[in-house]
Structure 1
Amino acid sequence: MPNETAFNYSKLKGRIKEKCGTCFNFAKQLGCSNNTLSAKINNASDFSQTEIIKSVDILDLKVEDISTYFFTPKV
């Protein structure tokens, strides 16, 4: 069940573009379909803890930046 709080993933989308080129490429590396990734980025579904940790590796993020990329509330 999706979280009741909507998150702003604009910073995540920018990092995906910077590191992977496209959401499709990122989804492939993450191990999900482009449609599944789209649902997550559009707040229709939640990122799992495993997906977040894998994203940190794929996108070369720091663990302390997880909240900035995955838990910034939409205003």
Structure 2
Amino acid sequence: MPFDYRKLEGLVKEKCRTRAIFAYKMGLSERSISLKMNGKTQWKQTEICTACEILGISNEDIPKYFFDPKVQSVEHIKTA
């Protein structure tokens, strides 16, 4: 199941300004962060814990940032 990381991306920009700074603080490469944010690789539990410390995410809010299901848009079909 794909997850939507737009809220996480917004918080990264708010708290760290760039993915590069966030990656540095996480001890990961920018490429690794990019792959995770784009759903190409999964977040490890330890990485989620580290990200929460850096970004000030409470335990209760973890699902909102890391496990929000991506909803696919459905195009409306017009009938004549």
Q: TM-score range by the shorter chain?
A: over 0.9
Shift of 1:21: 0.5
TM-score normalized by structure 1? 0.93
* Alignment correspondent of 2:46: 50
Percent identity between the two aligned chains: 45
**Partners of 2:47 and 2:41 in 1: how far apart?**
12
Unaligned runs of 5+ in 1: none
**Partners of 1:63 and 1:25 in 2: how far apart?**
23
Unaligned runs of 5+ in 2: 72-80
Q: Which has the larger radius of gyration?
A: 2
Give RMSD over aligned pairs.
0.4
Residue 31, structure 1, aligned to residue 27, structure 2: yes
Shift of 1:48: 0.3
Q: Which amino acid aligns with 2:40?
A: A
Residue 19, structure 1, aligned to residue 25, structure 2: no
The size of the alignment, in residue pairs, is: 71
